[in-house]
Structure 1
Amino acid sequence: MTDWLQRHQVAIYAASVALAVGFGTGLPAAAPLFERVITPVLAVLLYVTFLEIPFTKFRRAFTNVRFVAAALGMNFLVVPVVVYALTRFLPREPAILVGVFMVLLTPCIDYVIAFTELAGGDAEQVTATTPVLLVAQFLLLPVYLWLFIGGEVAASIEAGPFVEAFLFLIALPLTFAWLTAVCAVRSDAGRRLERAMGRLPVPMMAATLLVVIASQIPRVGNSIGRIAAVVPVYVAFLAVMPLLGRLAGGVARMGVGETRALVFTSVTRNSLVVLPLALALPSSYDLVPAVVVTQTLVELAGMVVLTRTVPAWLVRTRPEPLSIPEVTKRD
C-alpha cells in the first residue's frame, strides 16, 4: 500500500486539489469548517513527515554541514534578495506585500521531501535539514517583515500566533516523532506504530491540501482582481530559484542528489504552515490568506514541471564548480 501511494502521490495530490476547488466553489459555506481543522491536520502531517527518516540516519545526515549551510544560505540570504527584487513590481498594498513576503521567505518542510524524491534528489538530506529550516524561518520572518515592509506594519503583527505555531507545528510533532522512534527501537508495539504511521505521509499531505485550499478558495475567488498581480511574481520565483540552486550546488561541489535537493529546498515554499499565521493576522489583512493559497496553487503546477526538468535538464550530472579563468601574463 505504501509503495502504491508513493508511486501515485502526484495524482493523489492533484485529485485532492481538484476536490478542494470543487468544495470551495460549489460549497463556500463549508470554508469555515475546513479552516478550523487546518492546524491539527498540519500537526499530524508534520509528525508523520518527521517520522519518514529514522532518527539514526537523521543525525548522520544532519552532520553534512556543507548541505545544511548551503540550504540556510540559499533560503535566508539569497531568497530574501530575490523576493525583495521581485516584489518591487507589486502594488504597494500592505496586505498583498505581507502575504507575498510571508510565503516566499519561508522554505517548505513537508512536500519538498516528496518532490525531491520524485526528481531523484537526496530526500533524506532534505528531511534532516527540516527542523533547522523550520526554526530559522520562525525566528527570521518577523525580522524580514520589519526590514521589507517597515516597523509600523511589523508591529501590528502579534507574536502570539508565531509562538503557538512553533509549539503545535514544530515542538510537539518533533517530540512525538522522536518518542515514536525511541519506542520503535525498544518494543514491538512501537515498531508497529511506526510502520502504521509510515503509511500516512501521502494521505496526510492530500488531506492538508484539501482543507487548506478548500478553506481559502472563496477568498481567492472574491479577490481575484486584487491578487492577480502576485501570480507573475510566483512564476518568476519558480523560474529563478532552480537556476540559483544549481549554481550554488556547483559552488559547494555537491553531487547530483544533493544538488537536486538544494534546488527543491530553495524553490518550494512553506505556504501550508504559514497559513495559520496568515489567518491570525488583524482583520485589515484579511487578503493575506488568499495571497498565500494562490502561491500554493502556482507552486503545485510548477512542481509538476520541475520534477521532470530538474533531472532531465537542469541537474543531469554533477554540477561543475565555478572556476576563475587563468590570465596569461604578457611580457
Structure 2
Amino acid sequence: MDGNALLQRRQVAVYAVAVLLAVVVGLGRPTAAPTLERLIDPVLALLLYVTFLEVPFVRFRRAFRNRRFVAAALGLNFLVVPVVVWALTRLLPAEPALLVGVFMVLLTPCIDYVITFTGLAGGDAEQVTATTPALLLAQLLALPLYLWLFVGPAVATAVEPRPFVEAFLLIIALPLALAWLTEAWADRSRRGASWQAAMGWLPVPMLAATLFVVIASQLPRVQDSIGRIVSVVPVYVAFLLVMPPIARFVGVRLGLPVGERRALVFTSVTRNSLVVLPLALALPAVYQLVPAVVVTQTLVELAGMVALTRVVPRWVVPDGER
C-alpha cells in the first residue's frame, strides 16, 4: 500500500486530530480567531481545487445533463427540507434570533465542501459539483421567501445575495477553472502530470486544515453564547439523522445508481454555513445571536460529516444496493 492510499485509509483519524487541535486552539487562544477566520475561504478554495482535480472533466459534462438527479436535489432541498426544518423548529423556544439562525443555515444547501465529503463516501462528486449552480440560484431566490414565511418580512429583506455569489465565484468557479486548466496542462506536459500527481496527496490534509480553521476560528464565538444556543444542538443532530433515510428513499424510488444516491444524501444533509455566516453577521443588532447559532451548526455538521463518510457507504447506501 502506497503512502497516499494509507493516508486515505487513516483519514478519519487525521480529521479527529484536526478537530481536537482546533478545540484546543479555539479555547486556549481565542485571540487567534480573527486571523484564522480570514483563512477559511482560501483554505476551502484550495480544498475544492484538489478535489476537482480527482474528477475527470469528461464526467462533468455528462453530469450536467443528468436532469433526474438535479430535479431530485432541488426537490429535496427546497420542498422536503423546509417541511422537515419547520417541524424540527417546533421544539425550539420562541426566540426570534434562535429561529432565524436555524432557518438561515438549514434552508441553504451546501455548495462547497459537500463535494469533498461526497467523494470520501464513494458518492458521485462530479454530479454534486454540476448541480451547485442550480442549488445556488434556488437558494438565492428561496431563502428570503422561506424567511418571510417562517419568521416575517423584516429578516427576509435584510438578506443580501452578494455573499452567495461571491462564494460561488471564488470558492467554486475559480478552483473549478484552475482544475480544468491543470488537467489540460497534465495532458500535454510531463511537468503538468507531475503537478497533478503531487496534488493527489492533498485532499485529506486540506480537509483536515479546513476543519481546523473553521472550528478554531468560530469556537470562541460559540463559547460566548453557549448557554443560550445549546437548545439548537438537538435540532441540528435530528436533521443529520432524519435527512439521510429520506434522501435514500427518494434515490431508490427514482432508480438512481449507488453513487448518485450517496450524493443525494450528502447534498440533502450538508448546509451552507460558511456562506451564510457573512449574512448572519450583517443582520441588525437585535439578531446578534444568529452568528453563534450558525457556527454551532458548522461544528455539529462537521462532526456529523466525518461520521457519515463511513455510515453512508456501509449502511445507508451500501455497494450493490438495488
Tell me the TM-score range normalised by the shorter chain: 0.7 to 0.9
Change (3 A) 1:194 1:133: farther
TM-score by length of 2: 0.86
Distance apart, 1:48 and its partner CA: 2.8
- Is 1:244 the counterpart of 2:246 in the alignment? yes
- Is 1:197 the counterpart of 2:207 in the alignment? no
- Contact 2:159/2:279 (<8 A) preserved: no
**Any stretches of 5+ residues in structure 2 without a counterpart?**
none
Distance apart, 1:53 and its partner CA: 0.9
- Is 1:66 the counterpart of 2:64 in the alignment? no
- Contact 2:112/2:171 (<8 A) preserved: no
Alignment of 1:173-192 (within 5 A): 173-192=175-194
Distance apart, 1:242 and its partner CA: 1.1
Secondary structure of 1:167's match?
helix
- Is 1:16 the counterpart of 2:18 in the alignment? yes
- Equivalent-residue separation in structure 2 for 1:215 and 1:242 (angstroms): 29
Distance apart, 1:28 and its partner CA: 1.0
Further displaced range: 248-257 or 166-175? 166-175
AA partner of residue 203 (structure 2): P
For 1:212, the equivalent position in structure 2 comes to 214
Distance apart, 1:74 and its partner CA: 1.0
Change (3 A) 1:256 1:56: closer
Secondary structure of 1:31's match?
helix
TM-score by length of 1: 0.84
Further displaced range: 279-288 or 77-86? 279-288
- Equivalent-residue separation in structure 2 for 1:237 and 1:262 (angstroms): 15
The equivalent position to 1:39 in structure 2, one of 28, 38, 41, is 41
Distance apart, 1:237 and its partner CA: 0.8
**Any stretches of 5+ residues in structure 1 without a counterpart?**
321-331
For 1:57, the equivalent position in structure 2 comes to 59
Distance apart, 1:316 and its partner CA: 4.0
The equivalent position to 1:105 in structure 2, one of 104, 107, 112, is 107
- Equivalent-residue separation in structure 1 for 2:39 and 2:27 (angstroms): 19
Distance apart, 1:139 and its partner CA: 4.4
Considering only aligned residues, what root-mean-square deviation do their CA atoms show, in Å? 2.7
- Is 1:5 the counterpart of 2:7 in the alignment? yes
Change (3 A) 1:255 1:276: same
Distance apart, 1:292 and its partner CA: 2.0
Alignment of 1:1-331 (within 5 A): 1-316=3-318
- Equivalent-residue separation in structure 2 for 1:180 and 1:135 (angstroms): 27
Secondary structure of 2:90's match?
helix
- Contact 1:253/1:319 (<8 A) preserved: no
Change (3 A) 1:117 1:294: same
Distance apart, 1:281 and its partner CA: 4.0
- Equivalent-residue separation in structure 2 for 1:96 and 1:259 (angstroms): 32
AA partner of residue 293 (structure 1): V
Further displaced range: 15-24 or 106-115? 106-115
Identity, % of aligned positions? 71
- Equivalent-residue separation in structure 2 for 1:131 and 1:93 (angstroms): 33
Secondary structure of 2:110's match?
coil
Change (3 A) 1:164 1:250: closer
The ranges of structure 1 where at least 4 consecutive aligned residues each deviate by more than 6 angstroms after the TM superposition are 317-320
AA partner of residue 11 (structure 2): Q
- Equivalent-residue separation in structure 2 for 1:23 and 1:76 (angstroms): 37
Secondary structure of 2:76's match?
helix
- Contact 1:42/1:273 (<8 A) preserved: no
Further displaced range: 122-131 or 45-54? 122-131
Distance apart, 1:124 and its partner CA: 4.2
- Equivalent-residue separation in structure 1 for 2:306 and 2:172 (angstroms): 28
